[in-house]
């Protein structure tokens, strides 16, 4: 005879291989706290609805408290024979309190139970992740405030484009992370809906009070259709999509950190504790952490793809396929959480090499647009001015120098509108300061934006 709660209609137990193949206890035991929380609320509701006696309700509370102690002390042995976390806990409860444990499942199915557990668990994880996003934003905004006036080349096509403030560059990521945080908050609204009461798929014949259970579990809404409640995992997919975007943002920043740390750039250095050496090349200091973040973004995107494909052909209502939602979801949460934690610490240990950044701006004609704007302000149409500056750049390139290194007479040979005041716009600092409007890279704007974020994040 099998040990299973559902074995009554079977002539033989499942084979060993099937037991291992279908069991989920190895990973879903992670939902134990949520499962107990959900069961306690369900039991209280059953009692308040007159379905469960006061004695049963008291016994269930006592038994669950003991199970929580057993989990905390590590004395609870999870059993593969009991398939998943739900049946493990129910069986322990029955072992401890007898018949009341067997009555707990009245008006409920594992289908609405598991959907409820995942939502309860994920809701808590989203709150944690949001705090970590905000901590990383704080670290970035602090560094940005410190380096609002550090000038570096801004790139398009990875070619030198225009001077930008290093602080401005960092705040671009603070903005991205701000939207990631919004997406998490928005996704949480749809996670925070209660499937419990849907039972297997059609609801239950017992006079349940779903509002009571929802209130006890702090669910904002109740799933309004029993088939939908047990079937869809769109909330998990949505979370993983938001997590993928977050990871992509961090992957892009990682790519930049890696490039900036290369001696060819030499814009920053990462603290030693985030790097590793080489077993053969004694000189190496490798940016392993950002490289791994870049790599792990692929892993989370993979989980998103996995969950989408898991869902795509399932007919209503619950199918066992859905048991496969947990490992990708758990791993996404772990990966995002660990990545955010390590990232905030890493950003707080960045050394900024301002002189190298400035030296790089002086190569690549980063202020060519400033010269074009200068000529427009003197009356030349922009397209003509673009042409003039392009010729000046070609000349400087042949001479092997920057625009600012050309003599005034040489510059004037390209346009007689050019005067002594041109050198003010050709410096990197002049270029930065000139972009002094909302969203621009002028240090004054960058300081204001960093302060705005820090006040908002405090
Ligand atoms: N372990 C299952 C899962 O994760 C629980 C629900 C099982 N329901 C069922 N009818 N077999 O989805």
Tokens of 104: 């707990």
Residue whose CB lies within 8 A of the most ligand 1 atoms, among 112, 199, 323, for a mutation test: 323
Q: What is the predicted pLDDT for the residue at 58?
A: 98
Looking at domain 368-426, its CATH architecture is Orthogonal Bundle (1.10)
Task: Report how far Cα 388 is from the mean position of its chain's Cα atoms.
Answer: 47
Q: Classify residue 276 by its DSSP letter.
A: B
* Beta strand pairing call for 268-269 and 151-156: unpaired
Residue 433: CB within 6 Å of ligand 1? no
ω before 317 within 30° of 0 (cis)?
yes
Q: What is the predicted pLDDT for the residue at 3?
A: 64
Distance (angstroms) between ligand 1 centre and the Cα of 114 equals: 7
Q: What is the predicted pLDDT for the residue at 291?
A: 97
Residue 89: CB within 6 Å of ligand 1? no
Task: Report how far Cα 265 is from the mean position of its chain's Cα atoms.
Answer: 29
Neighbours of 346 (CB within 10 A): 22
pLDDT digits (tens, 9 = 90+) for 399-421: 999 998 999 999 999 999 999 99
Domain boundaries, the chain: 13-106, 111-146+154-199+220-358, 368-426
Distance (angstroms) between ligand 1 centre and the Cα of 110 equals: 6
Whether 453 contacts 179, CB under 8 Å: no
pLDDT digits (tens, 9 = 90+) for 21-48: 999 999 999 999 999 999 999 999 999 9
Distance (angstroms) between ligand 1 centre and the Cα of 25 equals: 11
Residue 84: CB within 6 Å of ligand 1? yes
Q: Of the candidates 243, 240, 231, which has an alpha carbon nearest to the alpha carbon of residue 198?
A: 231
Residue 73 burial by CB count (10 A; 0-12/13-18/19+): exposed, middle or buried? exposed
User: H or E stretch including 221?
Assistant: strand 221-222
Q: Which residues contact 18 (CB under 8 A, 6 or more apart)?
A: none
Residue 24: CB within 6 Å of ligand 1? yes
Tokens of 261: 């740390």
Tokens of 450: 């960093």
Residue 439 burial by CB count (10 A; 0-12/13-18/19+): exposed, middle or buried? exposed
Distance (angstroms) between ligand 1 centre and the Cα of 28 equals: 10
The DSSP annotation for 76-132 comes to: ----GGG-SHHHHHHHHHHHHHTHHHHHTTTT--HHHHHHHHHHHHHHHHHHHHHHH
Low-confidence stretches of the chain (pLDDT < 70) are: 1-3
Helices (H), 321-420: 326-347, 354-361, 368-377, 382-399, 408-412
Q: Of the candidates 323, 267, 383, which has an alpha carbon nearest to the alpha carbon of residue 26?
A: 323
Atom from ligand 1 closest to the CA of residue 322: 12
Q: Coil, helix or strand for 364?
A: coil
Whether 85 contacts 32, CB under 8 Å: yes
Q: How far is CA 82 from CA 65, 107, 200, in A?
A: 20, 21, 19
Distance (angstroms) between ligand 1 centre and the Cα of 318 equals: 8
Selecting among 15, 75, 157, 279, the annotated active-site residue is 157
Q: Indicate which residue's Cα is closest to atom 2 of ligand 1.
A: 323
431 is catalytic: no
Q: What is the predicted pLDDT for the residue at 1?
A: 39
Q: Indicate which residue's Cα is closest to atom 11 of ligand 1.
A: 320
Whether 363 contacts 280, CB under 8 Å: no
Q: Indicate which residue's Cα is closest to atom 12 of ligand 1.
A: 323
Residue 244: CB within 6 Å of ligand 1? no
303 is catalytic: no
Distance (angstroms) between ligand 1 centre and the Cα of 244 equals: 26
pLDDT digits (tens, 9 = 90+) for 264-274: 999 999 999 99
Q: Which residues contact 363 (CB under 8 A, 6 or more apart)?
A: 160, 402
pLDDT digits (tens, 9 = 90+) for 155-198: 999 999 999 999 999 999 999 999 999 999 999 999 999 999 99
Residue whose CB lies within 8 A of the most ligand 1 atoms, among 29, 78, 84, for a mutation test: 84
CATH of the domain spanning 13-106: 1.10.275.10
Looking at domain 111-146+154-199+220-358, its CATH architecture is Up-down Bundle (1.20)
Residue 323: CB within 6 Å of ligand 1? yes
């Amino acid at each position: 005879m099998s040990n299973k709660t559902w074995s009554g209609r079977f002539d033989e137990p499942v084979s060993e291989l099937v037991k291992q193949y279908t069991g989920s206890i190895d990973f879903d035991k992670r939902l134990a706290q949520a499962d107990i929380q959900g069961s306690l609320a369900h039991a209280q509701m059953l009692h308040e609805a007159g379905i469960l006696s006061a004695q049963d309700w008291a016994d269930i509370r006592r038994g669950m408290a003991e199970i929580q102690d057993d989990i905390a002390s590590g004395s609870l042995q999870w059993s593969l024979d009991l398939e998943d976390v739900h049946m493990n806990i129910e069986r322990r409860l029955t072992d401890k309190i007898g018949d009341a444990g067997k009555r707990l499942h009245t008006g409920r199915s594992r289908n609405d139970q598991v959907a409820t557990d995942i939502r309860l668990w994920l809701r808590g994880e989203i709150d944690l992740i949001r705090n970590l996003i905000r901590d990383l934003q704080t670290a970035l905004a602090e560094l940005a405030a410190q380096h609002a006036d550090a000038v570096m080349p801004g790139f398009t096509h990875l070619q030198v484009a225009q001077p930008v403030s290093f602080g401005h560059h960092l705040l671009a990521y603070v903005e991205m992370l701000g939207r990631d945080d919004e997406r998490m908050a928005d996704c949480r609204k749809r996670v925070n809906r209660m499937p419990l009461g849907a039972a297997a798929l059609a609801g239950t014949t017992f006079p349940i009070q779903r509002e009571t259970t929802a209130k006890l579990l702090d669910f904002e809404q109740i799933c309004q259709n029993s088939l939908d409640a047990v079937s869809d995992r769109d909330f998990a997919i949505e979370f993983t999509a938001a997590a993928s975007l977050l990871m992509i943002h961090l992957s892009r920043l990682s790519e930049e950190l890696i490039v900036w740390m290369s001696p060819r750039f030499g814009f920053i250095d990462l603290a030693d504790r985030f790097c590793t050496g080489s077993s053969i090349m004694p000189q190496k200091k490798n940016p392993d952490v950002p490289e791994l973040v870049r790599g792990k973004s692929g892993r989370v995107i993979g989980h998103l793809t996995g969950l989408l494909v898991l869902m795509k052909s399932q007919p209503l209502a619950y199918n066992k396929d859905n048991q496969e939602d947990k490992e990708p979801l758990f791993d996404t949460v772990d990966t995002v959480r660990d990545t955010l934690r390590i990232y905030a610490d890493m950003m707080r240990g960045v050394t900024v090499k301002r002189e190298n950044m400035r030296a790089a701006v002086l190569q690549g004609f980063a202020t060519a647009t400033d010269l074009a704007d200068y000529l427009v302000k003197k009356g030349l149409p922009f397209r003509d001015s673009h042409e003039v500056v392009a010729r000046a750049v070609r000349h400087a390139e042949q001479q092997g120098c920057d625009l600012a290194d050309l003599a005034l007479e040489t510059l004037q040979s390209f346009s007689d509108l050019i005067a002594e005041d041109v050198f003010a716009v050709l410096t990197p600092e002049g270029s930065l300061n000139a972009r002094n409007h909302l969203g621009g890279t002028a240090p004054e704007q960058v300081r204001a934006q960093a302060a705005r974020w820090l006040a908002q994040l405090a």
